[in-house]
């Protein structure tokens, strides 16, 4: 899909919450969906390692932050879709990113990876305590909730506890579907027939989200993976053909499965 503009995603969450895993899945899925755009993850951990490979130097943190913000700004200016894979646990940190997006007149999306503290500590233990537990607990205590400013409301909230890979992929797909609606909606609102185009946008939002969810469930069954590419292509055709039809969520899912089975000439499990 070609999109008019790039955008900035701000991941927020505790250390060891699964942010980097989600960032990687988002990058892969967005690279497939937005083939005309480069997708870049800006990870301050990589910047830290480049400055001090063997130790954590607290005095370098301001420099790390400045370099991270500079990299985000530079990539956005180049038309890249940027994912900030940082803790961003202070609202001031999130506001720094919003200011960059606002200066470039680009959309800004906050995604809260709301994995509970207990799970983060358990995951940190499993991976060999790469981060001291007291650091995770300190971030948890200092975490700025999203209740101060309207701009600081999360666009999407995900708890990665007890999720398997296909569920994480489904979360990524739903995030992309919602972003597509925002981007398309912004473009459509400038049309002459605003009301009609807004209605189309609402229907497309519902179609995008429900069809992605339905396809994700179908692909959980390994028997359907042999026709994965065909299913993904047919999903896009189904959306295009049903834009002007108002359907319930259950009817969209039912009609999509029926459409896929007819086009593929096989029963989907």
pLDDT, tens digit, for every residue of 215-258? 988 988 888 889 999 999 999 888 888 876 667 778 888 899 99
* Strands 108-113, 8-13: pairing kind: parallel
Q: 12: part of which helix (H) or strand (E)?
A: strand 8-13
**pTM assigned to the model:** 0.72
pLDDT, average across residues 57-64: 78
What domains sit in the chain, N to C, each tagged with a CATH number?
8-165 (3.40.50.300), 189-264 (1.20.81)
What is the side-by-side order of every strand in the sheet holding 156-158?
Answer: 39-42, 81-84, 8-13, 108-113, 156-158
Determine the pLDDT at residue 131: 84
Q: Which residues does residue 50 pair with via DSSP β-bridges, in sequence order? A: none
Is the pLDDT assigned to residue 109 strictly greater than 70? Answer: yes
| Token pair belonging to 254 | 């039912």
Q: Assign residue 83 a region (left: φ > 0; alpha: ψ between -120 and 50; beta: otherwise).
A: beta
Determine the pLDDT at residue 196: 35
Is the pLDDT assigned to residue 194 strictly greater than 50? Answer: no
Determine the pLDDT at residue 213: 86
pLDDT, average across residues 139-154: 92
pLDDT greater at residue 123 or residue 54? 123
Is the pLDDT assigned to residue 205 strictly greater than 90? Answer: no
Q: Which residues does residue 113 pair with via DSSP β-bridges, in sequence order? A: 13, 158
Is the pLDDT assigned to residue 53 strictly greater than 80? Answer: no
Give the number of other Cβ atoms within 10 Å of residue 189's Cβ.
Answer: 11
pLDDT greater at residue 244 or residue 75? 75
**Backbone dihedral angles phi then psi of residue 40, each to the nearest 5 degrees:** -130, 135
Question: Would you state the torsion angle of the CA atoms of residues 208, 210, 211, 216, taken in this order, to the nearest 10 degrees?
Answer: 120
pLDDT bracket for residue 39 (50, 70, 90): very high
pLDDT bracket for residue 66 (50, 70, 90): very high
């Amino acid at each position: 899909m070609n999109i008019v503009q790039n955008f900035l995603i701000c991941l927020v969450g505790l250390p060891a919450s699964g942010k980097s895993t989600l960032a990687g899945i988002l990058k892969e899925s967005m690279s497939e969906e937005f083939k005309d755009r480069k997708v870049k993850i800006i990870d301050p951990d990589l910047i830290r390692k480049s400055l001090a490979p063997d130790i954590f130097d607290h005095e370098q943190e301001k420099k790390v932050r400045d370099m991270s913000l500079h990299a985000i700004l530079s990539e956005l200016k180049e038309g890249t879709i940027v994912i900030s894979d940082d803790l961003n646990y202070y609202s001031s940190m999130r506001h720094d990113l919003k200011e960059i997006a606002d200066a470039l007149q680009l959309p800004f999306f906050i995604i809260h990876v709301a994995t509970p503290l207990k799970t983060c500590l358990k995951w940190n233990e499993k991976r060999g305590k790469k981060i001291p537990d007291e650091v995770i607990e300190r971030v948890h205590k200092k975490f700025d909730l999203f209740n101060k400013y309207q701009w600081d409301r999360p666009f999407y909230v995900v708890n990665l506890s007890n999720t398997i890979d296909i569920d994480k992929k489904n979360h990524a797909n739903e995030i992309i579907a919602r972003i597509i609606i925002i981007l398309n909606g912004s473009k459509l609102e400038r049309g002459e027939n605003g009301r009609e185009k807004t209605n189309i946008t609402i229907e497309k939002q519902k179609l995008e989200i429900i069809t992605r969810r339905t396809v994700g469930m179908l692909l959980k069954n390994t028997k359907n993976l042999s026709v994965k590419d065909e299913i993904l292509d047919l999903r896009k055709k189904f959306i295009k053909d049903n834009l002007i039809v108002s359907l319930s969520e259950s009817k969209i899912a039912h009609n999509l499965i029926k459409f896929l089975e007819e086009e593929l000439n096989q029963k989907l499990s």
